[in-house]
Amino acid sequence: MNALRRVWEHFEEGFIAFLLATMTLITFVYVILNNFYTLFYWLGDHFGGNETLLGIGDAILDMAQAMTWSNALTKALFGWLIFFGLAYGVRTAGHIGVDALVKLAPRHIQRVIGVIACSACLGYAGLIAVGSFDWVHTLFTAGIGAEDLGHYGVQQWHIGMIVPFGYAMVFVRFLEILVRILRNEQTGLGLADEAADALKINEHEEPKQ
């Protein structure tokens, strides 16, 4: 049970790390292949037209030209990264909050405002999740292949399904916040406070001076 809880609490960053690693690996391989074949062409010419070295250069060039899917896949993964980042920002209080006036109110009023704000966020996330699910269902019915990935069996709905899934995760994370507010474990959405962060940084820097 504790293991499942740890997985759930770190689900977004785990998947974000996987997406970043995959994007980096694909881009790295593509760049290497697009520049490495020239080395073997140069070596082949340098050693009097060595057929083996030139053949290796041709093979690497063919692999580079075959990776037409790399840009499309990287863009798709980046899209997935954005929507996982939405839920991650909610869970880790990464989104910026504008609540200077709210903090001037008494604690019980802050709690009421927090419930209202969280309810609005839940409504927005739920609306987008349902609407985007209908959009993905339309793509599924159409069966349109994804750009430069269709011949590998990847369809547009495969990529687009991150939108309803991402907003469903946002909905769940805001629901967790609402439960904590109702339990009196926090008063607001717990969003980032840039002013407080700046003061903390300044406090740490002053002793050094």
Q: How far apart are CA 67 and CA 77, in angstroms?
A: 16
Q: Is the dihedral of CA 68, 73, 75, 76 positive or negative?
A: positive
Higher per-residue pLDDT: 204 or 18: 18
Listed ranges 33-47, 51-65, 155-169, 173-187; the one with the highest mean pLDDT: 155-169
Query: How large is the average pLDDT for residues 33-49?
Result: 80
Confidence of residue 139 (pLDDT cuts 50, 70, 90): very high
Question: What residues have CB less than 8 Å from 24, skipping those under 6 apart?
Answer: none
Please, which residues have CB within 8 angstroms of residue 5's CB and are 6 or more apart in sequence? Answer: none
Stated pTM of the model: 0.76
> pLDDT tens, 47-104?
777 788 888 888 888 888 888 888 889 999 999 999 888 888 887 765 555 565 666 6
Spatial separation of the C-alpha atoms in residues 132 and 137, rounded to whole Å: 8
Helix 69-91 to helix 162-182 angle (10° resolution) is 10
- Contacts with 33 (C-beta within 8 Å, 6 or more apart), sequence order: 60, 61, 63, 64, 67
